[in-house]
Amino acid sequence: MLSLLLPLISLLFQIQCFTVKSQPVPLNQICSNVTGNFTVNTPYAVNLDRLISSLSSLRRNVNGFYNISVGDSDEKVNSISQCRGDVKLEVCINCIAMAGKRLVTLCPVQKEAIIWYDKCTFRYSNRTIFNRLEISPHTSITGTRNFTGDRDSWEKSLRGLLEGLKNRASVIGRSKKNFVVGETSGPSFQTLFGLVQCTPDISEEDCSYCLSQGIAKIPSCCDMKMGSYVMSPSCMLAYAPWRFYDPVDTDDPSSVPATPSRPPKNETRSVTQGDKNRGVPKALIFASASVAIVVLFIVLLVVFLKLRRKENIRNSENKHENENISTDSMKFDFSVLQDATSHFSLENKLGEGGFGAVYKGVLSDGQKIAVKRLSKNAQQGETEFKNEFLLVAKLQHRNLVKLLGYSIEGTERLLVYEFLPHTSLDKFIFDPIQEYVMHGQFSFKTDVYSFGVLVLEIISGKKNSGFSSEDSMEDLISFAWRNWKEGVALNLVDKILMTMSSYSSNMIMRCINISLLCVQEKVAERPSMASVVLMLDGHTIALSEPSKPAFFSHSNAVSDSSSSLGHNAKTSNYNSNTELYPR
């Protein structure tokens, strides 16, 4: 029991430490070499020093936004700084001044650079940056904890929260902070909190577009992470299942943090935050925080014990159900399947692909079946085949054709499925789990992979299994990937599609892009099905560039943890993922 409680105790200790004291640390910074470098004692260096020195004496601006330029002609330094909408004015100026000093230290020779703090953003350049939408460079900061509940519910709640905040932020007006916070009910009895903000120098349309781009990056940068920032020069968004901002009234032009009508549950505030904390003895603050922590600990302990009890009951039920499924009870005699398919006659053959042929059959009781006669390429032993069959049989996924049984006879490996009378899936039998059967890889995104294959087959009018191009013996995915990289992806399109009145090359390119995202080699980089639906339905959602797909010709399993990160955040609690300018 003690080992189970230690993580909770550690978490509570971290919360208490964060409540009392939090040193400001940059979330990330980017030093750009695109616009050139400068040297010491040049006019640009002098102007930059003057700019940084002036930040500590900025006049208080109610919207926390500053646009300052120093110098003229080619050596002019232009800067934009902005504070988060819930930050008080005196804290805002201190944050900007600190950010400026820190940035020139981190980027000592670059003429263009940007730094993000939790409470403010500061950037400078030798080009014009005011009144311009800037979505690059962008960066994402993600927490290390993953949400382990229902994926679809999480993504639906998060998408609804951020889209709602985006719509509110884009209509606030340029005189305001373009800063909106909100919350929504999430899965597993959690509340999701979010905030979005645009710089007030861009239009409402640009604000909406910038935030849409940030939201679109979440599946690839922050998939299922419990807390994340997605930031660019012109906008930022953040979310977490806890309140990480001070309550504010975004309709109030002074943007002073508003006192909440009721105290939020399980929330502790920093000693230096809030007017109510001023003048209160530290001993009273620590006592109150300690009581809150003890209460929170008890609540978490009770919830943890209840959830563990439910999990034990559920595991016991599942174990009982699994005991009813055995390989012996689902084994067919090879001779029975031979008789059912007329000795695998050509008349009963439904199709053939890289994983073997599919035959229609009729059992002695009149039941129609489809028999998959696996090719010798599988090279599985009897025990291994039985174990993998049993695992697949237990899945019974809604997107899979129902698996009825199997047969083993010498080197023969056969799988028996329910027969689909209208042949809607007879050419794709076992394709939803081919990645697992041939390569031993299975995950909740295996059906995403299969969807991507299916889209490519629809666009090309050809099956993936047995596909070969005119120039080489490539499979469909390899052919699509090569043409995509060569910039001639439309070579994939079936000529019949091109003759249709509703044909749109832009839509076809978008579908090819989505399908290649679904079949990427790294499982963690594939989008969820919920994200795929949004990509297909929302034409304004930006799509990321797909990476190398998982080819059938080889197996190259890559663990989710192997994905590389661009820059590491300076705090131990976050990882950073950064993309540079796409010039």
177 lies in the same domain as 118: no
Residue-level length of the chain:
583
Residue type, 352: E
Strand order in the sheet with 179-185: 179-185, 191-198, 235-240, 228-231, 138-143, 574-579
Query: Quick check: is 301 in a domain?
Result: no
Among 416, 442, 468, the domain boundary falls at 442
Q: Is residue 486 in a domain?
A: yes
Whether residue 120 is contained in a domain is answered as yes
Task: Give me the CATH number covering residue 545.
Answer: 1.10.510.10
Tokens of 202: 């861009």
The DSSP element (H or E) to which 94 belongs, if any, is: helix 89-106
- 452 shares a domain with 406: no
Shared domain for 396 and 355, answered yes or no, is yes
Burial of residue 357 (CB within 10 Å: 0-12, 13-18, 19+) is: middle
Residue type, 397: H
Q: Which residues pair with 409 in a beta bridge?
A: 412
Q: Compute CA distances 40 → 69, 79, 84, 207, 334, whole Å.
A: 19, 19, 33, 37, 83
Residue 574 lies in a domain: no
Instruction: Tell me if 219 sits within 8 A of 527, measured CB to CB.
Output: yes
Together in a domain, 116 and 150? no
Q: What's the CATH code of the domain at 380?
A: 3.30.200.20
Q: What is the pLDDT of residue 286?
A: 57
Whole-angstrom Cα distance, residue 248 to residue 254?
10
CATH number at residue 75: 3.30.430.20
Assess whether 373 and 471 both reside in one domain. Answer: no
Domain count, the chain: 4
Phi/psi at 576 (5° precision)? -120, 145
In the β-sheet with 368-374, what is the strand arrangement from edge to edge?
A: 349-353, 356-362, 368-374, 412-418, 403-409
Task: Establish if 206 belongs to a structural domain.
Answer: yes
For the CA atoms of 104, 110, 113, 116, the dihedral, rounded to the nearest 10 degrees, stands at -40
Tokens 């291994």 — which residue?
384
Cβ(51)–Cβ(100) under 8 Å? yes
Please tell me whether 372 is known to bind a ligand: yes
Looking at the fold, whether 494 and 434 belong to one and the same domain comes out as no
Q: Which long-range contacts (CB under 8 A, 24 or more apart) does 147-151 make?
A: 147/187, 147/188, 147/224, 147/225, 147/226, 147/241, 149/187, 149/188, 150/187, 150/188, 151/224, 151/444, 151/528, 151/530
Residue 414 sits in the same domain as residue 469: no
119 with 205, same domain? no
The angle that helices 43-54 and 89-106 make with each other, rounded to 10 degrees, is 150
Contact 218, 577 (CB under 8 A): no
Instruction: Give the count of beta carbons closer than 10 Å to the beta carbon of residue 151.
Output: 18
Q: Are 240 and 143 in contact (CB under 8 A)?
A: yes
> How many CB atoms lie under 10 A from the CB of residue 69?
16
| CA distance linking residue 393 with residue 389, whole number of Å | 6
Within 10 A of 195 (CB to CB), how many other CB atoms are there? 26
Does 527 map to a domain?
yes
Both 413 and 454 in one domain: the answer is no
Hunting for tokens 């299942």 — which residue is that?
Answer: 241
Q: Does 187 sit behind a cis peptide bond, omega within 30 degrees of 0 on the bond before it? A: no
Q: Which residues, listed in sequence order, are joined to residue 125 by a DSSP beta bridge?
A: 78
- Do residues 446 and 557 lie in contact, with contact meaning Cβ atoms separated by under 8 Å? no
Domain for residue 535, yes or no? yes
Q: Which domain holds residue 37?
A: 28-125
Q: Are residues 453 and 435 in the same domain?
A: no
| Amino acid identity for residue 157 in this structure | S
Q: At which of 442, 460, 495 does a domain end?
A: 442
pLDDT per residue, tens digit, the chain (583 aa), is 434 444 444 444 444 444 434 446 788 999 998 888 999 889 999 999 999 999 999 888 888 999 999 998 778 999 999 999 999 888 999 999 999 999 999 999 999 999 999 999 999 999 999 999 999 999 998 887 888 888 888 889 999 999 999 998 877 654 456 889 999 988 877 889 999 999 999 999 999 999 999 999 999 999 888 889 999 999 999 999 888 888 776 444 433 333 333 333 333 333 333 333 444 444 555 566 667 777 777 877 777 777 777 777 766 555 544 444 556 678 899 999 999 999 999 999 987 765 678 899 999 999 999 898 877 655 556 776 776 676 666 555 444 567 788 898 888 888 888 887 654 444 444 457 555 444 444 454 567 888 888 888 888 888 776 565 555 567 788 889 999 998 888 888 988 877 776 677 888 888 999 999 998 888 888 888 778 877 776 655 678 889 988 754 433 333 333 332 233 333 333 344 443 333 3
Residue 297 token pair: 């600990």
Q: What is the pTM of this model?
A: 0.44
Q: Same domain, yes or no, for 208 and 117?
A: no
Domain boundary among 264, 297, 318: 264
pLDDT at 121 (0 to 100): 96
Is residue 5 a part of any domain in this protein? no
516 and 406 in one domain? Answer: no
What DSSP designation does 166 have? H
Helix (H, G, I), strand (E, B) or coil at 190: coil
Place of tokens 């789990």: 433
